[in-house]
């Protein structure tokens, strides 16, 4: 989930912070300090996150496009300049553009808005934007909610009391509500100082940027892993199941399935599964360290050299072309597979299925997948030539069962002509003739279209009179038999008009 850091660089951010100490800080310095801490945390614990840095006042500017280069982000923070007044609306428009250009409109995004709670004055101020919300034309819609799923974190370099003195807090809350409600407003607790700004960003880190650690199990084999990006809790049906579901920290493999059988299933999110070494100190800032490369070489080399189940699993999944079905929680499953980024690089990935007992119709209920060893004979065949998948639904779909639709006249004409074509080729086409005839008969009965049955009977009788002299004698018998049966059905007489009844070919024997 990429992050956009939206930094307020209006003049109000340069307000000095009254401190007893000798050094004088501006709010901007506090904000930069907090962001530096966030970037440092991400560089070591959340390195795969793409982050962009935007600065805004009445205008906005993309200082650093989406990157994983946290040095570049920190460097840009060091070179911030001061501009005029705060204009949140235009900045949010900027965010919307920047994110959509890079990631499209489906990718969830986190926006970290850093401001001092002084939200501008007059036209362009947040207050003005929110007041005129309803008067916006369709062409100039307020940017929130963004088209992409958003988590909005507002980092206010001001304490809650200060925000509540004006309507700033109300406006920020309204902003959060407009963005879809997913997110949080963080304020400073206590006096404005380095320590408290650290505490505030610490809360953001715990809330949104703590790495997700789990243990991947396959029977007695296991590996500590980091799942990136963090799987977010989801709500399935706000009415019946209002509680969000979260992914367990124990991921349990239940079995294996061929890629061809799982067949490009729909997934709600994709995550890297990175093996980690948990023997390290967990006492550092944030949670456990995960990054092997930044560590001193000896430690990472050690970790690299002791066998890890993830690597084994990845290798075999890749070679065999299979996926591992993994249980994420009660009635929630996903799959593990090898994903190649390039010819050389590949990785263990996990995709999450929609929560529920049967996320993929072609696999059926996951709880009803059992080990093949229980089958009398291997359902994959001795040479892997067959497969028990996909599961067939009990009822065929309309396009797989030759349904009759006569809404367009052409549909009816085609069906009638098909019967006549076969009628002219009797007795060779006896089977097809009766099959088509019965199909028409069934539909006509269901639709209460008895007139058609009479009409068809007339047509068959006429065909009978038009038979050439060379025709097989059976043709005439079959045609008049069929015509008679249709006529009987068209009376609605229950003996002849039963839906499940089929007109059988007349039994004729010309051999003797």
Q: Which stretch binds another protein (CB under 8 A): 18-26, 86-94, 184-192, 404-412?
A: 404-412
Place of tokens 């990845």: 314
Task: Name which of residues 196 to 225 contact another protein (CB under 8 A).
Answer: 218-221, 223
Binding mask 149-188 for another protein (x = CB under 8 A): ----------------------------------------
Peptide bond preceding 462 in cis form (omega within 30 of 0): no
Range in contact with another protein (rule: CB under 8 A) among 129-137, 173-181, 196-204, 374-382: 374-382
* 405/409 Cα distance (integer angstroms): 10
Q: Please report the DSSP string for 100-124 in residue order.
A: HHHH-SSS-EEEEEEE-S----STT
Instruction: State how far the Cα of 211 lies from the Cα of 274, in Å rounded to an integer.
Output: 11
Q: Does 403 bind another protein (CB under 8 A)?
A: yes
3-class DSSP state for residue 445? Answer: helix
Q: Per rule CB under 8 A, is residue 329 in the interface with another protein?
A: no
Window 405-424: residues binding another protein (CB under 8 A): 405-414, 416-417
Site string for another protein, 465-494 (x = CB under 8 A): -x-------------------------x--
Residue closer to another protein, measured from CB, 160 or 234: 234
- Strands 346-352 and 269-275, by their bridges, are antiparallel
CB of 437 to another protein, least distance (A): 14
Instruction: Report in angstroms how near the CB of residue 387 gets to another protein at its nearest.
Output: 9
Do the Cβ atoms of 199 and 34 come closer than 8 Å?
Answer: no
Contacts to another protein from residues 284-313, by CB under 8 A: 292-293, 301, 303-313
Please pick, from the candidates 181, 190, 361, 473, the single residue that binds another protein as defined by CB under 8 A.
361
Give the residue from 303, 289, 296, 341 showing the smallest Cα distance to 43: 289
Interface region with another protein, contact rule CB under 8 A, candidates 29-37, 84-92, 189-197, 338-346: 338-346
Site string for another protein, 61-100 (x = CB under 8 A): ---------------------------------------x
Cβ atoms of 443 and 491 closer than 8 Å = no
| DSSP bridge partners of 323 | 257
Does 381 help bind another protein (rule: CB under 8 A)? Answer: no
Determine the length of the chain.
512
Q: Write the CB contacts of 216 (distance below 8 Å, at least 6 apart in sequence).
A: 222, 223, 224, 225, 251, 253, 273, 309, 310, 313, 326, 336
Kindly tell me which of 390 and 427 has the beta carbon lying closer to another protein. 390
**190 belongs to the binding site for another protein (CB under 8 A):** no
**Integer angstrom CA distances of residue 236 from 146, 245, 354, 368, 468:** 21, 8, 9, 22, 69
Q: Which residue lies nearer to another protein by CB, 165 or 446?
A: 446
Say whether residue 385 binds another protein (CB under 8 A).
no
Contacts of 91 (CB under 8 A, 6+ apart): 6, 54, 56, 60
């Amino acid at each position: 989930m990429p992050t956009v850091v939206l930094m307020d660089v209006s003049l109000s951010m340069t307000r000095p912070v009254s401190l007893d100490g000798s050094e004088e800080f501006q709010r901007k310095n506090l904000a930069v300090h907090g962001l530096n801490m966030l970037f440092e945390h991400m560089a070591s614990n959340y390195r795969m996150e793409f982050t962009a840095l935007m600065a805004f006042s009445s205008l906005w500017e993309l200082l650093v496009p989406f990157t994983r280069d946290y040095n570049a982000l920190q460097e840009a923070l060091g070179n911030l300049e001061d501009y005029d007044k705060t204009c949140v609306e235009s900045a949010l428009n900027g965010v919307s553009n920047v994110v959509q250009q890079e990631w499209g409109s489906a990718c969830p995004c986190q926006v970290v808005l850093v401001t001092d709670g002084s939200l501008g004055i007059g036209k362009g101020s947040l207050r003005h934007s929110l007041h005129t919300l309803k008067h916006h034309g369709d062409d100039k819609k307020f940017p929130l909610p963004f088209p992409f799923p958003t988590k909005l974190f507002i980092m206010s370099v001001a304490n809650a009391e200060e925000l509540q003195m004006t309507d700033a807090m109300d406006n920020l809350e309204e902003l959060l509500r407009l963005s879809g409600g997913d997110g949080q407003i963080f304020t400073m607790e206590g006096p404005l100082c380095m320590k408290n700004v650290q505490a505030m960003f610490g809360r953001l880190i715990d809330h949104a940027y703590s790495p997700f650690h789990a243990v991947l199990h396959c029977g007695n084999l296991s590996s500590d892993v980091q799942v990136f990006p963090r799987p977010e809790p989801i709500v399935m049906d706000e009415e019946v199941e209002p509680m969000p579901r979260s992914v367990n920290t124990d991921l349990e493999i239940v079995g294996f399935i061929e890629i061809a059988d799982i067949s490009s299933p729909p997934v709600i999110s994709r995550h890297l599964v990175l093996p980690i070494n948990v023997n390290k100190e967990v006492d550092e800032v944030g949670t456990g360290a995960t990054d092997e490369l930044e560590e001193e070489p000896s430690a990472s080399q050690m970790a690299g050299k002791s066998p890890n189940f993830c690597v084994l699993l990845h290798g075999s999944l890749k070679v065999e072309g299979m996926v591992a079905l993994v249980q994420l929680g009660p009635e929630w499953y996903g799959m593990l597979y090898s994903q190649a980024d390039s010819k050389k690089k590949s990785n263990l990935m996990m995709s999450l299925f929609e929560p529920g007992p049967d996320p993929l119709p072609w696999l059926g209920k996951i709880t009803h997948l059992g080990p093949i060893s229980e089958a009398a004979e291997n359902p994959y065949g001795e040479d892997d030539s067959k497969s028990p998948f996909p599961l067939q639904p009990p009822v065929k779909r309309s396009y797989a069962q030759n349904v009759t639709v006569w809404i367009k006249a052409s549909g009816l004409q085609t069906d009638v002509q098909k019967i006549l074509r076969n009628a002219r080729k009797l007795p060779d086409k006896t089977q097809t003739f009766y099959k088509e005839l019965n199909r028409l008969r069934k539909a006509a009965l269901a639709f209460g279209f008895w007139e058609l049955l009479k009409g068809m009977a007339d047509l068959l009788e006429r065909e009978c009179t038009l038979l050439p002299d060379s025709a097989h004698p059976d043709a005439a018998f079959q045609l008049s038999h069929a015509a008679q049966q249709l006529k009987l059905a068209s009376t609605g007489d229950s003996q002849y008009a039963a839906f499940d009844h089929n007109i059988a070919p007349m039994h004729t024997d010309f051999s003797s």
